[in-house]
Amino acid sequence: MAKSKRKHQVTASVAMLPAFATALLIYIVCTGWTIWVSFTNSRLLPSSQFVGFAQYERLFANERWQISFNNLFIFGGCFLAISLALGLLMAIMIDQRVRFENMLRAVFLYPYAMSFVVTGLVWQWFLNPELGLQKMMRGLGWESFTFDWLVNPDYVVFTLVIAAVWHASGLVMAIMLAGLRGVDSEIWKAAKIDGIPAWRVYVSIVMPMLGPTVVTAVVLMSITVVKLYDLVVAMTNGGPGNESEAPAKFVMDYLFERGNIGLATAASTIMLITVLVVLAPYLYLKYGRPARAGHA
Amino acid sequence: MTMTVAATPSVARGPKPQRLTPARIGIYLFLFSAAAFFLLPLFIMVVTSMKTLEEIRQGSILALPLTLNFDAWVKAWTQACTGLECNGIQVGFWNSVKILIPSVIISIVVGAVNGYALTFWRRPGSNLLFAVLMVGAFIPYQVFLNPMIRFFSFAGLYSSLPGIILVHVIFGMPVMTMLFRNYYTNLPVELFNAARVDGAGFWRIFFDVILPMSAPIFVVAAILQVTGIWNDFLLGLVFAGRENLPMTVQLNNIVNTTTGEREYNVNMAATLLTALVPTIVYFVSGRWFVRGIASGAVKG
């Protein structure tokens, strides 16, 4: 029996080999390699000459990186605020026992099934002044209507926000709605008996209870922000100028087109740090503290 | 994260509705405006894809096409050009199918075995392994690309179909593993213990006891992987190689690198064709889709 038990344990270990290899070779070795190379003077080929933070100094002196990195925060801040607000509003409104609930949910969420490439192309056309919204409004009789953000260097990053909100706020809605439906209905009955208006119940009681749900949505959306790449490629390709560039695209272009591994790995290390900064409080809340019962 | 969403009751439990008060009208106004925001771009795409170029130039963008005309769709499928090659978006479609089927099957099987082993056959280091996979799921692909390309070139897998499939299996692993682990953790452990007492081993228990109970989570995993892999752009671009570029990459090439007159109707038809597979999955799977993405959206 003992012998056969050991045999089964060995089988289990063998079955875990792919996971073990992935964790070790990809998530640990590749990450470590990237961080290490970012401290060397590698250009087209990796070099092992240690140069300290020189690549990072070069990176943050690079104008295109500055724009990309700034865009991360402009895009991220706007996208998070709008998609969360819109998603939450849609969830609360849908939760008012409205008719057509299933249809509305399907409509709000379907863009999430589309790829970012499709999303980017859809909005590239819809916001194209000669083709989409502007032409439509002028055609409807509003001759002076102008919406040229897509080709306006000052506003182009906000067109990415619009497209990303279209893509993802349905997911926020779905997550929030699940949270709302999890609120004990007794609370609503009690509030009704006490004559508390519905909006007060939402603000003072329901929202605080939704805390973990909101955190989940924020983390998911933040990761989308850091990974922002396909959308930019399909919608603006970084233009006009470099005004809609993003860090992920910076890394791709410096890896594959400009052949500057040192700068690219420094930029991806900054991306990694950004993700860890977003993630750390979440992981701490979820796993770091003594486990509470009932959390999947 | 997973189970809270799964437990959505089907009935709204908000405050009780009154008759059509101004507030109710406001709610509907908001909801239908939001619906218009989500539907308008799609509507315009569908309508435009059925117009001729002449109609697009002359008429209003909102106007319905004069006739039901699928010429642009046929052209997009069979003749749309990527650079000098004009074989239509069907090339990318079949490439995506070739990538999708093995990637989905292998990544789900690997995820199921991982989840099963991590739940019932804990070994020293199991928790650490799982933690590394979980954190890894959040790291942007850009961090791994350069060293991975070196590994893959060394192994002769770079720019090949097996290569891109392996990449999807690797990057699908954290979410798939988490999905199955969470599901198996909620199965009664007595079943497993009873099978152990009967002398059944690792694979025997997996195939005879665990797999028959795994149908729901396989559905969720399949929805997640089919949409995720179909919609992938970055990995296909980097690892698939010129011969196997997936549909998303080919679509972007068709639309964003064409010179000369832009055939908007053909481009939009090609875009709709690319969106077709995940859209079908979405509408067929209904609420399962929400379960899937809510538990797997970490992948992004």
Q: Which of A120-124, A239-243, B89-93 has the lowest mean pLDDT?
A: A239-243
Confidence of residue B290 (pLDDT cuts 50, 70, 90): confident
Q: How far apart are CA A267 and CA A252, in angstroms?
A: 10
Q: Up-side HSE of residue A147: CA atoms within 13 Å toward CB?
A: 19
Return the residue of B nearest to A260 by Cα. Answer: B146
pLDDT at A133: 84
**What DSSP designation does A286 have?**
I
Neighbours of A36 (CB within 10 A): 16
DSSP B206: I
Instruction: Look up residue B195 and give its two tokens.
Output: 């099978």
Which positions in chain B touch A109 (Cβ < 8 Å)? 282, 289-290
Tokens of A100: 């057509």
- Domains of chain A, start order: 62-288 (1.10.3720.10)
* pLDDT value at B89 more than 60: yes
Nearest partner of B79 among B97, B91, B95, B93, judged by Cα: B91
CB contact at 8 A, B149 and A275: no
Find chain A residues with C-beta within 8 A of B291's C-beta: none
pLDDT number for residue B299: 37
* Chain B residues touching residue A179 (CB < 8 angstroms): 4
For residue A271, CA distances in Å to A228, A288, B26, B34 come to: 11, 23, 42, 33
Contacts of B188 (CB under 8 A, 6+ apart): none
Contact B121/A220, CB-based, under 8 Å? no
Cβ count near A64 (within 10 Å): 16
Q: Is B18 on the interface with A (CB under 8 A)?
A: no
**Do the chains contact at B233 and A271, CB–CB below 8 Å?**
no
3-state secondary structure of B275: helix
Task: Read off the pLDDT of each residue in B243-272 and give the average, rounded to a whole number.
Answer: 88
Per-residue pLDDT tens over the stretch A93-152: 998 888 888 899 999 999 999 999 999 999 998 898 888 888 888 888 888 888 888 888
Residue A73 in this model has a pLDDT that exceeds 70? yes
- With bands split at pLDDT 50, 70 and 90, how would you rate the model's confidence at B294? low
Residue with tokens 């900054």: A270
Confidence category of residue A265, pLDDT binned at 50, 70, 90: very high
Q: Cβ of A4 under 8 Å from any chain B Cβ?
A: yes
pTM of the shown model: 0.89
- pLDDT interval class at B232 (50, 70, 90): very high
Q: Which of A121, A135, A284 to mutate to test the interface with B (most CBs of B within 10 A)?
A: A121
Separation CA A147–CA A132 (nearest Å): 10
Identify which of B241, B58, B49, B168 has the alpha carbon closest to the alpha carbon of residue A125: B49
**Quick check: ipTM above 0.85?**
yes
Interface probe, candidates B31, B82, B141, B251, chain A, greatest A C-beta count within 10 A: B31
Q: What pLDDT band is residue B19 in, cutting at 50, 70 and 90?
A: low
- Give the pLDDT band of residue A288 (cuts 50, 70, 90): low
- In tens, the pLDDT along A145-181 reads 888 888 888 899 999 999 999 999 999 999 899 888 8
Contact between B15 and A192 using a beta-carbon 8 Å cutoff: yes
State what percent of residues in chain B have pLDDT above 70. 90
Q: What is the pLDDT of residue B4?
A: 38
Identify which has the larger pLDDT, B180 or A185: B180
Cα-Cα end-to-end distance for chain A: 35
Q: Which residues of chain A are within 8 Å of residue B151 when distances are taken between CB atoms?
A: 25, 30
Residue B292, min C-alpha distance to chain A (Å): 11
- Closest to B264 (Cβ–Cβ): which among A25, A90, A131? A131
pLDDT at site A252? 95
pLDDT tens readout for residues B140-169: 999 999 999 999 999 999 999 999 999 999
Burial class of B144 by CB neighbour count within 10 A (0 to 12, 13 to 18, 19+): buried
Which of A131-140, B66-75, B181-190, B270-279 has the highest average model confidence (pLDDT)? Answer: B270-279
Domains of chain B listed by start with CATH number: 91-299 (1.10.3720.10)
Per CB-CB distance under 8 Å, the chain A contacts of B250 are none
Q: What is the pLDDT of residue A294?
A: 42
Mean pLDDT of A190-218: 86
Say yes or no: B103 contacts chain A, CB-CB below 8 A. no
Whether residues B138 and A183 touch (CB distance < 8 A) is answered with no
Give B152 to chain A, closest Cα distance, Å: 11
pLDDT at B292 over 60: yes
CB within 8 Å: B4 and A296: yes
Closest CB to A248 among B31, B142, B290? B142
Contact call for A12 and B140, based on CB within 8 A: no
On the question of pLDDT at A19 being above 50, the answer is yes
Please give the average per-residue pLDDT across A267-273, as a whole number: 95
Q: What is the percent of chain A with per-residue pLDDT over 90, rounded to a whole number?
A: 48
The lowest-confidence range among A212-216, A247-251, B24-28, B173-177 is A212-216
Of residues B117 and A188, which shows the higher confidence score?
A: B117
pLDDT above 90: residue B9: no
Range from A139-143, B23-27, B235-239 carrying the lowest mean pLDDT: A139-143
User: B182 contacts in A (CB within 8 Å)?
Assistant: 296
pLDDT confidence bin for A284, thresholds 50/70/90 = confident
* pLDDT tens-digit readout, B179-215: 999 889 888 889 898 998 888 889 999 999 999 999 9
Interval A40-55: pLDDT, tens: 988 888 788 888 899 9
Q: Per-residue pLDDT for A287 more than 80?
A: no
Cis geometry, peptide bond prior to residue A240 (ω within 30 degrees of 0): yes
Give the pLDDT mean for A233-250: 92
Residues in A 214-253 with any Cβ partner in B closer than 8 A:
216, 220, 223-224, 226-227, 229-230, 233-234, 237, 248, 251-252
Which of A68, A83, A215 shows the shortest CA–CA distance to A161? Answer: A83
End-to-end CA distance of chain B: 15
Mean pLDDT of chain A: 88
pLDDT reported for residue B262: 80
- The residues facing B85 across adjacent strands are B82
Per CB-CB distance under 8 Å, the chain A contacts of B274 are 115, 117-118
A149 — contact with chain B (CB < 8 Å)?
Answer: no
Query: Which of B 57-76 lie inside 8 A of A, CB atoms?
Result: 60-62
Pick from A37-46, A133-142, A250-259, B6-15 the range whose average pLDDT is largest. Answer: A250-259
Tell me if B13 and A188 make a contact (CB, 8 A cut-off). yes
Task: Write out chain B residues lying below 8 Å of A104, CB-based.
Answer: 31, 35
Least confident segment among A21-30, A273-282, B204-213, B289-298: B289-298
- Interchain contact, A224 vs B300, CB within 8 Å: yes
CA distance A56 to chain B (A): 15
- pLDDT value at residue B8: 47
For B:128-167, CB contacts with A below 8 A are 129, 131-133, 135-136, 138-148, 151
pLDDT beyond 70 at B251 = yes
Closest chain A C-alpha to B276 CA, distance in angstroms: 9
Over residues A216-238, the mean pLDDT reads 90
Whether B238 shows a pLDDT value over 50: the answer reads: yes
